[in-house]
Structure 1
Amino acid sequence: MDSQRSFLIIALAIVSFFLWQEWQKDYGPKPVVAPVTQQQVSNDNSSASLIMDSPETPQATTPTEAVARRIKVSTDVLELEIDPRGGDIVSLKLPQYALTKDSQDPYVLMRQIGAFEYVAQSGLIARDGPDRNGRPLYQSEASEYRLNGDTLTVPLRLEHNGLQIEKRFIFTAGKYDVRVEYQILNNSAEVKTVQAYQHLLQNIDNGESSSMFMPIYRGAAFGSAEERYKKYDFSDMQKNNLTVTTTGGWVAMLEHYFVSAWVPDQASTHQLYSRIHGGNKGVIGALSNPLDIDPGQTATINAVFYAGPKDQDNLAQLANGLDLTVDYGFLWFISQPLFWLLTFIQGFVGNWGVAIIIITLIVKGLMYPLTKIQYESMAKMRNLKPKIEEIQSRYKDDRQKMGPAMMELYRKEKVNPMGGCLPMLIQMPIFLALYWVFVESVELRHAPFMLWITDLSAKDPLYVLPVLFGISMFMMQKLTPMQVTDPLQQKLMMWMPVVFSIFFFWFPSGLVLYWLVSNLISLAQMLYIYKGMEKKGIHTRKA
């Protein structure tokens, strides 16, 4: 099997998989929303009823009223708005990340505009919780806060049924994680019981979709003691309510380069849950165990809210598995060290495009022994073709004798018939892992390379890189003439450089740069290997 045919089969398999994913999304069977049973509603002692008792979204208000009473908070990396009704984060922008390339507007991660909602809610339920029967209205000392030093605390206060409650949002300079605390003083003469929850709510359909060749996940995920990272998308929510009991854990909403997450107290037990609200909003959250507060005593409940880029180092420090929201798929164990190497190189060269070129050189260099075996095996198989055809002609009516005769020929000539395929199969996981590194890494978002390539996460505006890739692929075909004899297959192979060039028109330029450099290195390696084989008398071209 020649390298181009192998490349074709593997590439078409990948494309077919992406097409199947998109078909399933648009035309596959639709899930049925699981109904809430009467038992869930009536059984107050069950964990299921506690989830159902968690509050609904804030009561609808007019835009003017909502804006007038929101509390605005600004740090160096966050701009957010808190609704005093429940103390929910209803708007969050990331000033360090532009909405689009060269835009002056910050990236908007969370918002509550019209019918669309993407908010972070938290509260206290159970018997004495203020959120038990609706969202309480907190009081704030100011309507606007700005971080000027290392930390900023935004306190919201409430008195409810003998409880003095202070809900604090604690911000730190340069940090996307916010510490959310409840300080609860029981001023009554009886034991009070509360139960903390934190959840994220988002519309199922936000009008955006992933590309066929850039399948970007938008939806929920969670982590538990048993399962570090698991996606739980909106269709999963529509099929079943998530119910997972765990020590620690976390819940999150993902959208390509960015993530919002609630991380409850990692030393306590929580129930992770999901549900569909209002028919078109997905909710995923964490529910803590009930907490009893004796008369005159104070209790503290802690959680961390994160909203920002998928920074693996920071996420890994917050919770076990939260860094896996940078989703490299099943090859994560290869992608993570490759990402570390890419970041290390960029730290020296200061340019992500140059770093991509260098890491491609390193990977192709390390894979050179396998590449050498592959091309040598292919050349030897071409040289054996007359002998193979002679054996096939001699034993065309006796398949049982043909097999042993072929194996004897391979043994005598010291040729492995799989030698051209196995090295490529070994290399493919490396190249696919690099692909996901380039797709998932927020560091490449809006990162410039040189000249007209000003954003490695966007397509080449002049389509120069895809065209150069097609030319390099055509040159590789010329260097290794096809062995196929079927006219249709020959025409298909001849047009493959054109087809892939057109596909790559929509790929991020960083990915196309990687494939182009990889092809150029392969060309250089092929010329070097074939030249050495010609000196040994092994023909590398088809006669």
Structure 2
Amino acid sequence: MYWIRNTFILIFLFVLAFFVYKFNNENFFYKAFQKEKLSNIKINESYKKLDLKDVISIQTDTLKIFIDKKTGDIIKADLLKYKEKINKSDSFSLLKSEKNFLYQANSGLTGLSNYNFVYDEKYNKLNNFLITDSQKELKVPMKWISSDGNISFIKTFIFEKGKYFIEIKYDILNKTNKPLNISMYGNLKQSIIDSQKVNNNYSFGLKTFRGAAYSNDEEKYSKINFFSIDKKENISGYTKNNWIAMVQPYFVTAWIPDTFVKNKIFSEKIDSNVVSVGYTTENFNINSNSSQSISSKLWIGPKIKKNMLEVSDSLYLTIDYGFLWFFSQPLFKLLNYLNSFFNNWGISIIAITCIIKLIMFPISKVQYTQMAKMRSIQGEVNEIKKKYKDNKSVLNKKIIDLYKKNDINPIGGFLPLIIQMPIFLSLYYMLIESVELRHSPFFLWINDLSDKDPYFVLPILMGITTFLLQKISGNEDNIDETQKKIMQFMPIVFTIFFLWFPSGLVLYYIVSNILTIIQQKIIYKQLKKEKNKL
């Protein structure tokens, strides 16, 4: 039975190693990128220090947006309800235009190539807009008129209080004597690498996905790593009621085009360090002396399902819980429900661990009972091994007969280990993808359950509880020297693996170990009483 347990532990370690590799996949791409082109990384050539004279500043209760007065592009976006760093007052900047990093949302019209497509300040004199307490909506117009006065449009940014999406609307007027053939586009541009953080951003640790994602007529949700754009694959296809986005842990920026026209989505590499994803509408005609309106929505905000459903029925899929989403989603719902009572995500994690262990108790009881029975017949097993050591087939048959006689199923006793794996991985995905858990404190030094323990206290406690659990289980008394050495190193190996895991996940494992120790004590005591009665 113990070789089976060791096998499961090794499988568990292998899965952990796989996750380290998987979430360091960006590191793998980065090293290749570093070898090939890091020396050629371009500093943002369009960068200039943000001057309030050159931008329109718009603030709502959720967003602070900066728009280039000449191009109409969003060059900076702050999420006012989220902090850049824990214990800091600065709001989190999702979009930014800095010397070492570029992340912008651009939009415009095609089909007017003969005109100078720059907004004239004489039509756009206001620089600052602020939504008031009495306002539910804020409209920020930018007017453009051609030099001959025959074509004009108003680009209006429409904000709603409490929302993370912006509606961008074009009202186009054609006074010429011929029809205009026009299309609207929206794109997102972002640096692949922040060259200022090259030396410290790719150390050993768990990485989450950062890249592009989209939903089109063929695929409801698909994603592509930034490093793969123009190398392995590109985004292409058509969509009428979907979106294209750039995603990162906890936050997403996405274009949700107008639904009344067909839209083509795309990705491209602009230079050695900047990629772009976006959409272009199909061409539409504006007849002579007539007008036309077209709009699109832009999401700039956190990955909160109920909010994202307001703009798209599938954008919430960017909350990427991986292949175990069917575990992670209900697990988060339960955790969120518990947090509504405790108002502390750490206590909620402890509570959900207790609930899981309680639900699994009948299965755990079978496991511990099987382990106790195995220990009780270990003397007989050793005798069989000595007696039939030269005849493996007979040895195996005798041991199987002994198991049957004592009603022992060596495989069935490990069902809790199998069940714990998807729960563990689901909780991991939940911690790194649920923005509600970002910067969520527990107590004392644990001020962010979604990040590693800064002093590594929890991983060490986890290693200690694993060691105690191993001792209480009594495994080392019934295995050979080689297996014993492997088991002795297990707590150390586990501790090393867990050093970089989110502290909330380590907390779950510590509580799970403590509850397992208590359960084993109770069950073994009960079994001992039953044995004495006999």
Match of 1:13 in 2: 14
Counterpart position of 1:151: 137
Counterparts of residues 114-263 of structure 1 (less than 5 Å): 114-125=99-110, 128-129=111-112, 135-137=117-119, 139-148=123-132, 149-160=135-146, 162-206=150-194, 207=197, 209=201, 212-239=204-231, 240-263=233-256
Cα root mean square deviation, aligned:
2.9
Q: TM-score if structure 1 supplies the norm length? A: 0.86
Counterpart code for 2:411: M
Moved more, 318-327 or 276-285: 318-327
Distance 1:399 1:293 in 2: 86
Q: Distance in 2 between matches of 1:133 and 1:382?
A: 86
Change (3 A) 1:377 1:61: closer
Instruction: Tell me the secondary structure at the aligned position of residue 317 of structure 1.
Output: coil
- Is the contact made by 1:223 and 1:320 (CA closer than 8 Å) also made in structure 2? no
Q: 2:484 aligns with which of 478, 482, 490?
A: 490
Quote the offset at 1:411 in angstroms. 3.3
Amino acid at match of 1:147: I
Give TM-score scaled by structure 2 length. 0.87
1:97 and 2:82 aligned: yes
Structure 1 counterpart of 2:430, from 437, 450, 457: 437
Instruction: Confirm whether residue 325 of structure 1 aligns to residue 318 of structure 2.
Output: yes
The equivalences for 1:354-365 within 5 A come to 354-365=347-358
Which moves more between the two structures, 87-96 or 435-444? Answer: 435-444
- Determine the structure 2 residue equivalent to 1:472: 465
CA distance in 1, matches of 2:472, 2:32: 49
Counterpart amino acid of residue 170 in structure 1: I
Against the structure 1 CA distance between its residues 193 and 427, is the aligned structure 2 distance closer, same or farther, given a 3 Å change threshold? same
| Counterpart residue type for residue 493 of structure 1 | M
Q: Distance in 1 between matches of 2:260 and 2:272?
A: 34
Q: Does the CA contact (< 8 Å) of 2:27 and 2:202 recur in 1?
A: no
Letter in 1 for 2:6: R
Shift in alpha-carbon separation, 1:16–1:59, aligned structure 2, 3 A: closer
Identity of aligned residues (%): 37
Matched letter for residue 259 of structure 1: V
Tell me the alpha carbon deviations over residues 141-195 of structure 1, each in whole angstroms, 9 at most, x when there is no partner: 4111111121111111112484321111111111111111111222222221111
Relative to structure 1, the CA distance from residue 441 to residue 212 in structure 2 (aligned partners, 3 Å threshold; closer, same or farther) is farther
Q: Which residue identity does 1:514 align to in structure 2?
A: Y
Matches of 2:322 and 2:23, distance apart in 1: 17
Matched, 1:500 2:494: yes
Q: Does 1:527 align with 2:527?
A: no
Match of 1:76 among 49, 61, 65: 61
Equivalent residue number for residue 43 of structure 1: none
**1:283: how far off?**
0.7
Q: What SS does the corresponding residue of 2:88 show, helix, strand or coil?
A: coil
Alignment gaps of 5+ in structure 1: 32-57, 539-543
Could you tell me how far apart the structure 1 residues matched to 2:13 and 2:302 are? 32
The question of 1:107 aligning with 2:92 is answered: yes
- 2:211–2:246 Cα contact (<8 Å) kept: yes
Report the more deviating stretch, 475-484 or 379-388.
Answer: 379-388
Q: What is the alpha-carbon distance in structure 1 between the residues aligned to residue 499 and residue 454 of structure 2? A: 9
1:252–1:262 contact (8 Å) kept in structure 2: yes
Q: Distance in 2 between matches of 1:343 and 1:326?
A: 15
Offset at residue 22 of structure 1 (A): 6.6
Amino acid at match of 2:99: G
| Deviation per residue, 1:29-76 (Å, 9 max, x gap) | 958xxxxxxxxxxxxxxxxxxxxxxxxxx9937437x65311111111
Match of 2:281 in 1: 288
